[in-house]
Amino acid sequence: MSEFAGVGISYRPEFADFQQRLAEVVDCVEILFEGSFPVGKEGTEVLGWPHQKAAHAMTLSPARADFQIQPELRLLLAEARDNGIVLLSDHLSYSSVGEYSVPNFFSCTRTAAEADRIAGNIAALREAAQMNVAIENPVTFLSQPSDAMSETQFVNTVLNTADCGMVLDVNNLYIDAKNNSFDPYDYIRSLDGDRIAYLHVAGHAHYRGLLVDSHDSNVDAEVWQLLDFALGTTGAAAVILERDNRSATEEVIMSELDILRSIWNRHRKGTACAA
Ligand SMILES: [Fe+2]
In this structure, what CATH number is given to the domain that contains residue 160?
Answer: 3.20.20.150
In a domain, 1, yes or no: no
Count the neighbouring beta carbons within 10 Å of the beta carbon of residue 199: 26
In a domain, 57, yes or no: yes
pLDDT digits (tens, 9 = 90+) for 51-99: 999 999 999 999 998 999 999 999 999 999 999 999 999 999 988 877 7
- Can you tell me the mean pLDDT for 28-50? 88
In a domain, 274, yes or no: no
Range of the domain at 167: 6-268
CA 158 – CA 118 distance, rounded (Å): 7
Give 269 Cα–ligand 1 centroid separation in angstroms: 23
Give 119 Cα–ligand 1 centroid separation in angstroms: 20
- Model confidence at 259: pLDDT above 50: yes
pLDDT at position 106, please?
Answer: 83
pLDDT at position 96, please?
Answer: 80
CA 40 – CA 21 distance, rounded (Å): 22
Give 172 Cα–ligand 1 centroid separation in angstroms: 7
pLDDT band (50, 70, 90) for residue 246: confident
By the 8 A CB rule, do 95 and 105 touch?
A: yes
- Model confidence at 157: pLDDT above 60: yes
Q: Residue 58 carries which DSSP code? A: S
Give 195 Cα–ligand 1 centroid separation in angstroms: 16
What domain count does the chain have?
Answer: 1
Give 215 Cα–ligand 1 centroid separation in angstroms: 9
CA 229 – CA 222 distance, rounded (Å): 11
- Model confidence at 274: pLDDT above 80: no
Count the neighbouring beta carbons within 10 Å of the beta carbon of residue 185: 15
- Can you tell me the mean pLDDT for 36-42? 82
Secondary structure class of 198 (helix, strand, coil): strand
pLDDT band (50, 70, 90) for residue 2: low
Give 49 Cα–ligand 1 centroid separation in angstroms: 22
pLDDT at position 275, please?
Answer: 46
Count the neighbouring beta carbons within 10 Å of the beta carbon of residue 4: 28
In a domain, 222, yes or no: yes
pLDDT at position 166, please?
Answer: 98
CA 31 – CA 17 distance, rounded (Å): 16
Give 161 Cα–ligand 1 centroid separation in angstroms: 22
pLDDT at position 141, please?
Answer: 67
Give 257 Cα–ligand 1 centroid separation in angstroms: 16
- Model confidence at 273: pLDDT above 60: no
pLDDT at position 1, please?
Answer: 46
CA 12 – CA 226 distance, rounded (Å): 25
Give 173 Cα–ligand 1 centroid separation in angstroms: 10
Give 208 Cα–ligand 1 centroid separation in angstroms: 22
Percentage of residues of the chain with pLDDT beyond 90:
74
Give 61 Cα–ligand 1 centroid separation in angstroms: 15
In a domain, 227, yes or no: yes
Give 7 Cα–ligand 1 centroid separation in angstroms: 15
- Model confidence at 221: pLDDT above 90: yes
Give 171 Cα–ligand 1 centroid separation in angstroms: 8
Give 123 Cα–ligand 1 centroid separation in angstroms: 21
Give 240 Cα–ligand 1 centroid separation in angstroms: 9
Give 243 Cα–ligand 1 centroid separation in angstroms: 10
CA 217 – CA 202 distance, rounded (Å): 8
Give 77 Cα–ligand 1 centroid separation in angstroms: 20
Look at 2 and 3; give whichever has higher pLDDT.
Answer: 3
CA 208 – CA 199 distance, rounded (Å): 28
pLDDT digits (tens, 9 = 90+) for 108-155: 889 999 999 999 999 999 999 999 999 999 998 666 778 889 999 999
In a domain, 202, yes or no: yes
Give 201 Cα–ligand 1 centroid separation in angstroms: 7
Give 170 Cα–ligand 1 centroid separation in angstroms: 8
By the 8 A CB rule, do 85 and 28 touch?
A: no
CA 271 – CA 207 distance, rounded (Å): 39
In a domain, 275, yes or no: no
